[in-house]
Amino acid sequence: MEYFLQQLINGVTLGSIYGLIAIGYTMVYGIIGMINFAHGDIFMVGSFIALMTIILLGITALTPAFILLAALLLVLVLTMVFTAVWGWTVERIAYRPLRGSFRLAPLITAIGMSIALQNFVQTSQGATNKPLQPLISGGIKVIEGIVSDRVFVVQLSYMQMIIIVTTLVLMAAFTALISKTSLGRSQRACEQDQKMAALLGVDVDRTISLTFVMGAALAAVAGLMFLLYYGVIDFYIGFLAGVKAFTAAVLGGIGSLPGAMLGGLLIGLIETFWSGYFSSEYKDVAAFSILVIVLIFMPSGLLGKPEVEKV
Averaged in consecutive runs of 10 residues, what is the pLDDT profile of the chain (311 residues)?
86 93 86 83 95 93 88 94 94 85 82 93 92 90 75 86 92 87 89 88 91 93 94 92 89 86 92 86 84 86 70 49
In angstroms and rounded to an integer, the radius of gyration of the C-alpha atoms of the chain is 20
Helix, strand or coil for residue 131?
Answer: strand
Q: What is the pLDDT of residue 309?
A: 54
From residue 188, how far is each of 28, 79, 185, 281, 306 by CA, in Å?
12, 27, 5, 41, 16
Q: What's the pTM?
A: 0.91
Whole-angstrom Cα distance, residue 187 to residue 183? Answer: 6
Whole-angstrom Cα distance, residue 59 to residue 68? Answer: 7
Whole-angstrom Cα distance, residue 203 to residue 186? Answer: 8
Largest distance between two CA atoms of the chain: 70
Helix, strand or coil for residue 5?
Answer: helix
Burial 212-251 (b: 16+ CB within 10 A, else e): bbbbbbbbbbbbbbbbbbeeebbbebbbebbebbbbbbbb
Q: What is the pLDDT of residue 100?
A: 75
The tens digit of pLDDT for each residue in 158-168 reads 999 999 999 99
Q: What is the pLDDT of residue 308?
A: 57
Q: What is the pLDDT of residue 21?
A: 93
Residue 135 DSSP one-character state: S
Residue 145 DSSP one-character state: E
